[in-house]
Chains A and B, each alone.
Chain A
Amino acid sequence: MTTIQQLIPGATALTQQETPLRRSTRVLKPARTLAGATLALTLTAGLALTAAEVVTALMGRPLRWIPLDAALDYAGHTTWWELSFAGLVVALLGLGMIAMAVIPGRMRLVPVETTDPLIVIGITRSGLRRTLRAVAQQVDGVGRAKVRLRRRAIEVTVITGGESSGSMLREVGTAVGDRLAGLGAICAGEVVVRLRRKGI
């Protein structure tokens, strides 16, 4: 079999230029399983039942599982003018489906940088939150910590006792940053550390 690399000189080099983020996005982007399965189930059930209804009606013994007669009667008495705004709703629904198909969506797994282009590693969002929280809680003086993964930043809220200092916040920021760097997580943005004292 002829591959694209054989057909186009330099295609191998082009493939190799793919960034880890791009590669991970291609593999880890959401598959739209819920929407796809719901639509596929609706279509399968609707088409199969309608076909069964049509065939049994042609054979003279209609099943009457779905109100096909009522639907045909409605279509025979309704004009296009009466349904024009319902048409808009249907068009919007279609537009929504196209948007779901085209927009990549937020990845369930946070991609991690790898040296091998054939390996894609992703860590669950809850897993990343937990590991960063564990690191933040190891810093002296931190009672509890909460981690939020925002679109452009990782927000770490540390809850401390009465006495706390700016250096502790810096330590938390450094520890979280080090863990992120060690992990090689490809998530954009900076680490924001917030302080909350107990009882406030």
Chain B
Amino acid sequence: MGARMRQYGGNRVGLAIMGVFLLGLGVYAYLRGQDRLPGLNPRGKILPGAMAESAVAHPWALWLLALVMVTVALVTLRWLLLSLGWGRRGSRTGTGTAMLTVGLKDVDGLSRAGVRVVGDVDRLRIGLTCPAATDVGMVVGKLDREIVGRIRREVCDNDLGSVVRLHVKK
């Protein structure tokens, strides 16, 4: 349960990895430029001539570099798609939505009610908008005690985590 009921953490992992990389690179550049790293010349070129010549002499190294870049680009493309919601939005379940609206039939002006099953039946996502005059406490109580459990039992596994997003319109 714990692993499922968690916000998507890919963006934080990606930010942390890039942050550590940039921090390391920046600190190295600063220390090297300020002659704080013994044995490394601060007046040395960022791309030494010897390295450029070596790359020209061994073109396979550049092919390897290109391969590494394409591989990392594919990983970051997957990250981009996931961060934009690919595979995380889930699919609507008509049964769940119907049960939600029936359960809240006493609430006037209910809109944007929807139930989604995320992933391979990993989690339920429920969205709901009600008018400002509604007793939101009553709606929350009904969702917590009756409706979500009922939907869970009907749509998928009873041990599934469910996240409800409640909005109040003007």
What is the interface of chain A, defined by CB distance below 8 A to chain B? 15, 23, 26-33, 35-37, 39-41, 43-44, 47-48, 50-51, 54-55, 58, 72, 75-102, 109, 112, 114-116, 118-124, 126-128, 130-131, 133-134, 179, 181-184
Which chain A positions have C-beta within 8 A of B40? 80
Any A CB within 8 A of the CB of B159: yes
Task: Report the interface size for chain B: residues with CB under 8 A from the other chain.
Answer: 84
Q: Nearest Cβ in chain A — how far from B81, in angstroms?
A: 9
Which chain B positions have C-beta within 8 A of A33? 11, 83-84
Any A CB within 8 A of the CB of B54: no
A-B pairs with beta carbons under 8 Å apart, 30 shown: A28-B7, A31-B8, A31-B83, A36-B83, A37-B83, A43-B18, A51-B66, A76-B47, A80-B46, A81-B35, A83-B46, A84-B30, A85-B33, A87-B32, A90-B22, A90-B29, A98-B23, A99-B19, A100-B19, A116-B144, A120-B163, A121-B166, A122-B164, A122-B165, A123-B167, A130-B168, A179-B137, A181-B137, A183-B136, A184-B140
What is the interface of chain B, defined by CB distance below 8 A to chain A? 1-2, 5-16, 18-30, 32-35, 40-47, 49, 52, 59, 62-63, 65-66, 69-70, 72-73, 76-77, 79-80, 83-84, 129, 132-138, 140-141, 143-145, 148-149, 152, 159-170
